[in-house]
Amino acid sequence: MYDKQREYTKFCFAFVYNNEEGKGGELMFDVVRLQINYHTLEQFKRFTENGLEELSMLDELHENMVENQVDSPFYGIYEDGTLVARMSLYPINAKYDRYFDPPRDYLELWKLEVLPGSKGRGLGTQLVTYAKSLGHAIKVNVRGQSHPFFLQLGFTPVKYDAQRDRGENPYVWIPNDER
Q: Which residue ranges make up the site for a copy of itself (CB under 8 A)?
A: 48-49, 51-53, 55-56, 73, 88, 90, 108, 110-111, 142-145, 147, 157-160, 162, 165-170
Kindly tell me the sign of the dihedral angle through the C-alpha atoms of 80, 31, 111, 19.
positive
Q: How far is the CB of 21 from a copy of itself (least distance, A)?
A: 23
Select 6 or 33, whichever has its Cβ closest to a copy of itself. 33
- What's 88's DSSP letter? E
Output the 3-class SS for 30-87: CEEECCECHHHHHHHCCCCCCCHHHHHHHHHHHHHCCCCECCCCEEEEEECCEEEEEE
Q: State how far the Cα of 31 lies from the Cα of 123, in Å rounded to an integer.
A: 9
Select 81 or 144, whichever has its Cβ closest to a copy of itself. 144
Q: How far is the CB of 177 from a copy of itself (least distance, A)?
A: 27
Select 20 or 108, whichever has its Cβ closest to a copy of itself. 108
Select 27 or 87, whichever has its Cβ closest to a copy of itself. 87
Answer for the pair 70, 62: CB distance below 8 angstroms, yes or no.
no
Q: How far is the CB of 133 from a copy of itself (least distance, A)?
A: 21
Q: How far is the CB of 111 from a copy of itself (least distance, A)?
A: 5
Q: How far is the CB of 90 from a copy of itself (least distance, A)?
A: 5
Comparing CA positions, the residue from 31, 53, 15 lying closest to residue 114 is 31
Q: State how far the Cα of 2 lies from the Cα of 54, in Å rounded to an integer.
A: 30
Give the pairing type, strands 106-114 and 137-141. parallel
Select 1 or 162, whichever has its Cβ closest to a copy of itself. 162
